[in-house]
A and B are shown apart, each in its own frame.
Chain A
Amino acid sequence: GENVEQHPSTLSVQEGDSAVIKCTYSDSASNYFPWYKQELGKRPQLIIDIRSNVGEKKDQRIAVTLNKTAKHFSLHITETQPEDSAVYFCAARGGSYIPTFGRGTSLIVHP
């Protein structure tokens, strides 16, 4: 089955800096890669996703890149703000349509 590794487990940045979270996956058949943000005690919510037919997608301060050859994808957050502080999860989904999640990255943005 699919295996998703996510790094780092904790990321601490100053407000205004950029943050990058990286994930690798094992199943070359995976073709859908969502990213979720989970604030403390709340439900995970989709913030951006990418499909295997594109290499990059942007939405305001958030971007995701995908390298299918290397089987890794990354979340980039620019101009971080304290409200970006949360746990971020990557996931990979392939032919089974059941996503496999990474273990999460706790992002802390210091004012």
Chain B
Amino acid sequence: DGGITQSPKYLFRKEGQNVTLSCEQNLNHDAMYWYRQDPGQGLRLIYYSQIVNDFQKGDIAEGYSVSREKKESFPLTVTSAQKNPTAFYLCASSLSGIGSEQYFGPGTRLTVT
């Protein structure tokens, strides 16, 4: 089902705790992305990475951090500095060429109380 996985599907955390969301792909894609989805807001870009050991901030990077130590993996950490962390988080990957299709993971629904 696309070769890109996210875990866990549901995640619950207490306010003030950092939490890391996993994203793995076996599509040999160079580029990986993290999006946040809120009702009526579409898909908003948090971070993206074009190659290993390099990543760039997206439109809403504040309160988030990422790493890209391996081509297959792009974990996202939601820190306690993120004011409204409760959301549906989607990871995606693509070949790095312009016009390359993005493949999305199944998403992680994070709830912070």
Interface residues of chain A, those whose CB is within 8 Å of chain B, are: 6, 9, 31-32, 34, 36, 41-46, 49, 51, 89, 93-95, 97-99, 101-104
Which chain A residue lies CB-closest to B103? A46
Interface residues of B in 1-58 (CB under 8 A from A): 2, 31, 33, 40-45, 48, 58
Q: Is the interface of B mostly helix, strand, loop or mixed?
A: loop
If A32-B98, A95-B98 touch, whether A45 touches B42 (CB-CB below 8 Å) is: no
- CB–CB A103/B41 < 8 A: yes
Tally inter-chain residue pairs, CB-CB below 8 A. Answer: 52
Further contacts, 5 of them, CB under 8 A, given A31-B99, A42-B106, A101-B44: A42-B107, A89-B42, A89-B43, A93-B98, A97-B100
B residues within 8 A CB of A51? 99
Interface status of B65 (Cβ within 8 A of chain A): no
How far in angstroms is the closest Cβ of chain B from A44? 5
A residues within 8 A CB of B41? 103
Bound-state CA distance A6–B45 (Å) is 17
- CB–CB B43/A32 < 8 A: no
Interface residue tally for chain B (C-beta within 8 Å): 23
Q: Which of A43, A98, A104 contacts B42 (CB 8 A)?
A: A104
B residues within 8 A CB of A49? 101
- CB–CB B98/A46 < 8 A: no
Bound-state CA distance A45–B45 (Å) is 17
- CB–CB B106/A44 < 8 A: no
If A9-B40, A98-B48, A101-B43 touch, whether A93 touches B99 (CB-CB below 8 Å) is: yes
Which chain A residue lies CB-closest to B39? A104
- CB–CB B97/A99 < 8 A: no
- CB–CB B107/A43 < 8 A: yes
- CB–CB B42/A44 < 8 A: no
Of B31, B41, B96, B98, most buried by chain A (CB within 10 Å of CB) is B98
Which chain A residue lies CB-closest to B99? A32
- CB–CB A97/B96 < 8 A: yes
